[in-house]
Structure 1
Amino acid sequence: MFTGIIEEVGVVKRVEKKGEVITLTILAEKISSSLGLGGSIAVDGVCLTVVEISPPLFKVDVSRPTQLTTTLGKAFPGRRVNLERPLTLDKPLGGHFVTGHVDAKGKILKKGGGEEFPLEISYPEALFPYLVVKGSIAVDGVSLTIQKLEKDRFSTHIIPHTAENTILGEKKVGEEVNLEVDFLARYLKKWWEEEKEKRDFEEMLKNW
C-alpha cells in the first residue's frame, strides 16, 4: 500500500529482457539503501518487487501482463520514474490509499503552465463509474484530485512542487500515464451492485 506522495525521481539505467520478463535497473540515490530485498516499491505507480539491491541501484522485474497494461512496457535507459516506498505505520498518509495495481493507461490531452499546472487526461470509459469530481486518482503514482470529469477524460491540477519533484512536470501532450482509481470506489461500487441485486430479488419475490 502506498500514499501517492512521491519520495524520489529515479532514473532507469538498464533494461534487460529475460524471456517475457524485463528487469529494470534503477538509480535511486535517496531511497535505495532503505529498500528490502523482496520488498515492494512503486515505480510510476506500479507496485513491483525489489529483486536486487546495490545502492544507489536496485532492480525490479516487470511481468508481461504489467508491460502490456502499464507504461513500464516501454521503459528505456535514461527514463525518469516516480518512486515511492510502501506505507508504514510511522509514515503520514499525505495523499490517499494507492495499491500500485494500475487500472489502465491514459494519455495527456492538454497541459498548461503557471502557478498551477492544469492537466487534461483521457481514460478508458470503463473507469468512469469509479471516478467522481473532487475524488482521488493516482497518475503515474501521484495522488491527484479530479477537478472536472467527462466520460472519456478528466481534468486536474498539479502545484509547482509536484511539477518539480515528480515526472508529471516533464510529461508532454500525447504521452501516456498510468492510472489507478481510488480502491475504495471499487468496493463501494461492488457493494451497491450487490445491494441492488438483493433489492431486485426481494421485489421479485414480493410480486411472485
Structure 2
Amino acid sequence: MFTGLIEEVGTLKRKIPRPNGLALEIEAHRVLEGTKIGDSIAVDGICLTVTSMSPTGFTADAVHDTIRSTALGTYRVGSPLQLERAMPADGRFGGHFVSGHIDGTARLISRRPDGEAMVYTFDVGAWQKYCIPKGSIAINGTSLTLQRVTPETISISLIPHSRQVTTFDRLASGAVVNIECDMMAKHLYHFTQHEKQTDWAAFLGGDM
C-alpha cells in the first residue's frame, strides 16, 4: 500500500529484456534507505518488487502484462521516474489509498497556468467513469485531487512545490501516464453495476 506522496525522482539507467518481461535498473538514493530485496517500490505508480540493490540504485522486474497495461513501454534510458516506498504500518497517511495496481493509461492534452498553480488536462477515455470532481486519482503514482471532470477528460492542479518534487513539468503534450483510479470508486461502480444485473427474484426463490 502506498500514499501517493512521491519521495524521490529516480532515473531509468537500463532496460534488460527477460523471458517474462523486463528488468529495470533504476538510479535512486532516498528510497534505498531501509529497503531490502523483496520490498515493494512504486515506480511511476507501478508496484514493483526490488530484486537486487546497489549503493546507487535498485533493479525491479516487470512482467509482460504490466508492460502492456502501463506506460512502461514508452520509457527510455534516462527517463525520470517517480518513486515511493511502501507505507510502513506506523507511518503517517498523507495522500490517499494507492495500491500500485495500475488501471491503465491516460494522455496529457494540455497545461495552462492558473495563478501560481498549473492545470493539467488528461484524456482518460473509459476510465472517466471512476472519476468525480474533488475525488482522488493517482497519476504516475502521485496522489491528486480531480478539479474538473468531463465525459472524456480530467483536470488536476499542481502548486509550485508539487511540480518541483515530481516530473509533471517534464511531461510533453501527448505524453502517456499511468493512472490508478480511486479504489473505493471502482468498488462502488462494480457493485452497483452488478446489482443492476442480479435477478433477485430467482435468488430469493419467488416473485418480487
- TM above 0.5, yes or no, is yes
Shift of 1:131: 1.2
Shift of 1:124: 2.2
- Structure 2 counterpart SS, 1:109: strand
Corresponding letter in the other structure for 2:171:
K
Aligned to 2:150: 150
CA contact (8 A) 1:162 1:169 kept: no
Aligned to 2:103: 103
How many matched pairs? 205
Higher mean Cα deviation, 148-157 or 13-22? 13-22
Corresponding letter in the other structure for 1:177:
V
Aligned equivalents of 1:13, 1:195: Cα separation in 2: 48
Aligned to 2:50: 50
CA contact (8 A) 1:41 1:50 kept: yes
Does 1:74 pair with 2:65? no
Aligned equivalents of 2:102, 2:50: Cα separation in 1: 18
**Which runs of 5 or more residues in structure 2 are unaligned?**
none
Q: Percent identity?
A: 36
Aligned equivalents of 1:79, 1:129: Cα separation in 2: 30
- Structure 1 counterpart SS, 2:192: helix
- Structure 2 counterpart SS, 1:34: coil
Shift in CA distance, 165/183, structure 1 to aligned 2, threshold 3 Å: same
Corresponding letter in the other structure for 1:57:
G
Does 1:182 pair with 2:179? no
Does 1:168 pair with 2:168? yes
Aligned to 2:119: 118
> Considering only aligned residues, what root-mean-square deviation do their CA atoms show, in Å?
1.8
Superposed counterparts of 1:83-94, under 5 Å = 83-94=83-94
Shift of 1:9: 0.3
Aligned to 1:133: 133
Corresponding letter in the other structure for 1:201:
W
CA contact (8 A) 2:104 2:180 kept: yes
- Structure 2 counterpart SS, 1:96: coil
Shift of 1:186: 1.7
Aligned equivalents of 1:45, 1:109: Cα separation in 2: 20
Aligned equivalents of 1:160, 1:181: Cα separation in 2: 24
Shift of 1:119: 0.5
- Structure 2 counterpart SS, 1:38: coil
Aligned equivalents of 2:151, 2:99: Cα separation in 1: 24
**Which runs of 5 or more residues in structure 1 are unaligned?**
none
Shift of 1:175: 0.6
Aligned equivalents of 2:129, 2:175: Cα separation in 1: 24
CA contact (8 A) 1:53 1:59 kept: yes
Shift of 1:14: 1.2
- Structure 1 counterpart SS, 2:15: strand
CA contact (8 A) 2:11 2:79 kept: yes
CA contact (8 A) 2:128 2:154 kept: no
Shift of 1:20: 4.3
Corresponding letter in the other structure for 2:162:
T
- Structure 1 counterpart SS, 2:33: helix
Higher mean Cα deviation, 40-49 or 28-37? 28-37
